[in-house]
Structure 1
Amino acid sequence: MFKQDMTVSLEEKIVRMERIFQAPLKLVWEVWTNPLHIEKWWGPKGFTNPTVEFDFKVGGSYRIVMRSPDGVDYPVVGKFLEITPYESFVMTDLVDEHPDEWVKEVQKMAGVTGDRSMLNSKLRVLFEETNGKTKVILLTEFMNNQIRDGFANSGMKEGWSQSFEKLESEALPKTNELIIEKKLSHPIDLVFSAFADQLNINSWWGPNGFTTTTESRDFRVGGKWIYTMKGPDGKIYPNLVEYKVIKDFEYIEYLHGSGDSTKDDNFLVKIWFTSINKNQTIIKMNMIFPNAEIRDTVVAFGAIEGAHQTISRLNQYLN
């Protein structure tokens, strides 16, 4: 099993932390920027995240409420200052809503007094991929070296180390799997019915710029969906779906491939539908490939972006 410890070093006003994950960069980026994944791993062991608001765009805000095992909330808030897709992003890390006791303890460790705003920081997260593995570099910049040292001695390394362990074990999928999760602003019956719709699925299925043409579709266990997708460049992609399990308004499972008997390109797809409230539904899509090499190839080809775009098109279609 791949195991990587985190390294920590001090620079001028900065705590630098690095860790390598056994996953492609796009997959690591996904679990860092999708709130449905963030809630699984953010914070030390034993902490949960009952609130994760993540408007991931320049100028957008975020708010993550970490809840300790004894029920104390530690809200982290800030804004995104810079985003370079699949390379880096920068965000402020404000302690405005942290408990007074925590603020006093950190100030004591740093040997400072005054307004809590002096504990605010800026976090730059960088991603570097080498041979299918991804190095994540955290550069946390403080007001001065004294406050930097106070944070470094307050359990910062231990907290991030445990967060990264959770990211590895609870957010990243198995090496031959890809998991996409997205929240839609529509009730579960409408969302599921769009997948079952024999006639209108062509209206939204596929990434941006793609068109779908159905040859035949039989939405039932044992049934098949034969269709082609035409890319923006005019290239035609044949597809064959064979439905294995269908549970109305809950779950769909199917085998997906090109339909070409000379190719061994089938992979299994599992889709769960979860109702949050009467107007919100979470779709969780798990794609299981024959091996890690094939998974990494489709990730590099754009499978993550394509899946998100398809679900976004579904959301727009339902509007």
Structure 2
Amino acid sequence: MPAPRRKTMEPVILLPDEQPTLTIERTFNAPRELVWKMFADPFHLSRWWGPQGFTNPVCQLDFRVGGRWYHVMRGPDGRDYPADSTFVEIVPPERIVYRNRVVENAVWDGNPPPSFKRTLTFAETDGRTTLTLLAEFETFEQREGARRLGFIQGTLESYDRLAEHMEALT
């Protein structure tokens, strides 16, 4: 009897020394069209986005080039974390590029996450989708600041929630 297929592979995280970027790659046991839909549809996006224990009471998504994605993640402690982004490029179902803007909020204690560009690529092989996130920062200090604020761990937890959400749909 063949071994059962794993739902996901272990993520790959890259923090190169030569440029202020961060890459997170994870493979999901789902077709590319489904993974794409989880990002393009606010109904689904609001149900899995954010670290474990977070909800998204606000998720406004104008999914087009030049469109805005404004959302508020609410932490388990009730604190709200607003985020505001603009879509730079959308190539269904292959790539989404967006840039967040700095949102001042008391929850950040005067140290909000920096503005940086994110490129998501979706590649399917044998019914599984590899999602690659490339975060491009202006400086190494910005990259380190995002890391300290939990960007990597939050993304990994968010992807766990994405996998669970897709599993519940099938």
* Structure 1 portions without partners, runs of 5+: 105-115, 178-319
Match status 1:83 vs 2:90: yes
Match status 1:69 vs 2:76: yes
Counterpart among 111, 119, 125 of residue 120 in structure 2: 125
Using structure 2 for the length normalisation, give the TM-score. 0.88
Tell me how far 1:7 sits from its aligned partner: 1.5
Q: Identify the residue that residue 244 of structure 1 maps to in structure 2.
A: none
**Paired AA for residue 6 in structure 1:** P
Match status 1:160 vs 2:155: yes
What SS class does the counterpart of residue 57 from structure 1 fall into?
coil
**Paired AA for residue 52 in structure 2:** K
**Paired AA for residue 25 in structure 1:** R
- CA deviation profile, 1:108-143 (whole Å, cap 9, x unmatched): xxxxxxxx6x81111111101111100000011112
Aligned-partner Cα distance in 2 for 1:48–1:149 = 26
Question: Would you say the 8 A contact 1:119–1:143 is kept in 2?
Answer: no
**Paired AA for residue 96 in structure 2:** F
Question: Would you say the 8 A contact 2:60–2:70 is kept in 1?
Answer: yes
- CA deviation profile, 1:283-304 (whole Å, cap 9, x unmatched): xxxxxxxxxxxxxxxxxxxxxx
Question: Would you say the 8 A contact 1:76–1:97 is kept in 2?
Answer: no
Q: Identify the residue that residue 140 of structure 2 maps to in structure 1.
A: 145
Aligned-partner Cα distance in 2 for 1:141–1:72 = 27
Match status 1:92 vs 2:99: yes
Aligned-partner Cα distance in 2 for 1:144–1:73 = 27
Q: Identify the residue that residue 2 of structure 1 maps to in structure 2.
A: 7
Aligned-partner Cα distance in 1 for 2:80–2:150 = 17
Question: Would you say the 8 A contact 1:26–1:86 is kept in 2?
Answer: yes
Q: Identify the residue that residue 38 of structure 2 maps to in structure 1.
A: 31
**Paired AA for residue 166 in structure 1:** R
Tell me how far 1:70 sits from its aligned partner: 1.0
Question: Would you say the 8 A contact 2:80–2:107 is kept in 1?
Answer: no
Q: Which has the higher contact order (CA 8 A, sep 6+)?
A: 2
Q: Identify the residue that residue 18 of structure 1 maps to in structure 2.
A: 25
Question: Would you say the 8 A contact 2:104–2:110 is kept in 1?
Answer: no
Aligned-partner Cα distance in 1 for 2:25–2:70 = 24
**Paired AA for residue 145 in structure 1:** F
Aligned-partner Cα distance in 2 for 1:83–1:101 = 30
- The list of structure 1 runs, each at least 4 consecutive aligned residues, that deviate by more than 6 angstroms after superposition, is none
Q: Where do 1:200-239 residues align within 5 Å?
A: none
Using structure 1 for the length normalisation, give the TM-score. 0.48
Superposition RMSD in Å: 1.8
Counterpart among 104, 108, 111 of residue 101 in structure 1: 108
Q: Where do 1:298-313 residues align within 5 Å?
A: none
**Paired AA for residue 52 in structure 1:** C
Q: Where do 1:208-287 residues align within 5 Å?
A: none
Q: Structure 1's 142 and 130: CA in aligned 2 closer, same or farther, altered over 3 A?
A: same
Overall identity of the aligned pairs, in %: 36
Counterpart among 119, 127, 130 of residue 135 in structure 1: 130
Question: Would you say the 8 A contact 1:6–1:17 is kept in 2?
Answer: yes
Tell me how far 1:99 sits from its aligned partner: 3.1
